[in-house]
Chain A
């Protein structure tokens, strides 16, 4: 059952559940930060509308910088701002920033230790009809190898807003992983923002499912159905992929015995790999990985893509059953 301690959305499984995209929560967070902190500045590479930076740009035009379609320049300008007392948020699609600007981010933001927040939008195959060119499915792998960066991967719009606000409090580089489409709102304003929390709990669980980002909802659907079938599981929301809370990973793995990881990302190098690195050392156990299997996806409606590429609740259930 849903963990009542976390004050999650009780309406989650009803047909009229509120739906909102994580990028919308990000935009709300940006505007709130603009009001709160004069040092927050925003840069975009000709994508202010779809990255939801538009509201900030309208309210605080002198702190908004339009960079044109030039992501390398955008991230390096942000690096210069970030070493000059500002808190820059760079907004583009994750395949372009950090993707296209990977080395520029590495040198000017990460190695420079500049206080820049990288908002990577349109992460995952959820990006849908735009096709594989615009679906970032390697970003976690390529970002988490950078020394010192923190990675936030919110599961819904409310958590995305909290993650955005939190990122501005951190001194140093942060990557915010955001997705495009509207999804059921799982948390509420009262839900605490923590790195890893059990969103679904049960007695004598057989497996723990670690999920990050919008696919957490699929994991919760799977958990609910599995419970009806007599298979008890835990579902943990991994909102912070780096630094990874190793203690909680081990604790939940010990509680449940087996582990399934779920992410809208390549299996190789993603959150599941990060968790496997911890467990191989501290608590070796059987694992199943739900994610993209070394393949690009394609154009299509996102629910169709989730089915075809195996990121849906049914695939998650199969992964659990394989272990128990």
Chain B
């Protein structure tokens, strides 16, 4: 990847991020269940990954030296499916099959379904460990790729995640960059009410990780942070990306009740109207 970004490219990425949000609303409304807030909140980061950062090939999704994108908080998979469809892994039409019988687009993602999904996830706290396994294999085979692991703030409640944080710190696994979706909500409320995580940054530092804190809805800032993260070779890096859950749809933003539910037809229409107005701008 390159951290340099032309004005035109950035404008294109912003457009694509909005398109992903449109797809997310359409998919979830059609599926009638699923997780809306996190999917919308992470649209900018997924856009940055699939259209700028990742070394990947939608037509040859399992080539050996591809970067690995391990989605640990599998419940936001609609935005990953949307990014994959838009970048050509599979037809955009297939997005409508989300959560339906016979579909490759499972409610929580399943490895290789479709090819390009690196791990099965949904049960939380397990992604970073699997990313570590990939990093160890990469080291043994002297391969040249990078592993990005996406986690949620809520899943930091899981002990398994901190086991992995310890292991990566001990083994100085700089081939892993973790991105935490710090949107401050989880199913039953605000993270700081359900189970306080702060001071999160200091916790990571204490576990021998390098830490960046950025605005996760600012594509440029995120891409620059990844560029800096890749230059750190002596420890794993975590980018704590502060995002707005429900970003782009004003009546969903920052409301934890949208964590685990899908919009009704009427709500979807309102949401799409708003998103389409940004498209026109």
Contact = CB atoms under 8 A, between A and B. Distances in A.
B137 A76 contact: no
A104 B119 CA distance: 12
A63 B136 CA distance: 9
A107 B126 contact: yes
Contact of A83 (B134, B138, B141, B159): B134
B261 interface: no
A14 interface: no
A111 B163 CA distance: 22
B163 A70 contact: yes
Contacts of B110: 111
Interface string A108-133: 10011100000000000000000000
Given A107-B120, A108-B119, A108-B126, A81 B133 contact: yes
A180 interface: no
Given A104-B126, A107-B121, A81 B136 contact: yes
Sorting the interface of chain A by its residue count into under 10, 10 to 19, 20 to 34 or 35 or more gives 20 to 34
B120 A111 contact: yes
Nearest to A103: B123
A78 B137 contact: no
A82 interface: yes
Contacts of B121: 107
A72 B120 contact: no
B119 to A, nearest CB: 6
B123 A107 contact: yes
A77 B167 contact: yes
Interface string B147-164: 000000000000110011
A62 B139 CA distance: 10
Q: Output the residue of A72, A84, A103 with the most chain B CB within 10 A.
A: A84
Nearest to B164: A73
Contacts of B134: 80-81, 83-84
B122 interface: yes
A141 interface: no
Given A70-B163, A104-B160, A63 B129 contact: no
B205 interface: no
B105 to A, nearest CB: 16
B45 interface: no
Nearest to A69: B163
B132 interface: yes
A178 interface: no
B138 A84 contact: yes
A78 B132 CA distance: 9
A53 interface: no
B203 interface: no
Interface residues of B, number: 28
A174 interface: no
B110 to A, nearest CB: 7
B133 A78 contact: yes
A52 interface: no
B219 to A, nearest CB: 28
A243 interface: no
A76 B164 contact: yes
Nearest to A84: B137
Contacts of B280: none
Interface in B140-191: 140-141, 159-160, 163-164, 166-167
B265 interface: no
A100 B58 CA distance: 38
Given A81-B133, A81-B137, A104-B126, A112 B166 contact: no
Interface string A49-82: 0000000000000110101101011011111111
B111 interface: yes
Interface string B69-110: 000000000000000000000000000000000000000001
Contact of A112 (B111, B137, B140, B160): B111
B261 to A, nearest CB: 23
B132 to A, nearest CB: 5
A76 B138 contact: no
Contact of B133 (A70, A80, A104): A80
A67 B167 CA distance: 7
Interface in A146-172: none
Given A77-B130, A80-B133, A63 B140 contact: yes
Given A62-B140, A72-B125, A76-B126, 9 more contacts: A70-B166, A72-B163, A76-B129, A77-B130, A80-B129, A81-B134, A88-B133, A111-B111, A112-B120
29 contacts: A62-B140, A70-B163, A72-B163, A73-B132, A73-B160, A73-B163, A73-B167, A75-B129, A76-B130, A77-B129, A78-B133, A80-B119, A80-B129, A80-B130, A80-B136, A81-B137, A82-B133, A83-B134, A85-B137, A85-B141, A86-B137, A86-B140, A104-B123, A104-B129, A104-B160, A107-B120, A108-B120, A112-B111, A112-B119
Interface of B: 110-111, 118-123, 125-126, 129-138, 140-141, 159-160, 163-164, 166-167
- 8 pairs of A and B residues whose beta carbons are closest in the complex: A80-B133, A76-B129, A84-B137, A73-B163, A80-B130, A70-B163, A81-B133, A72-B160
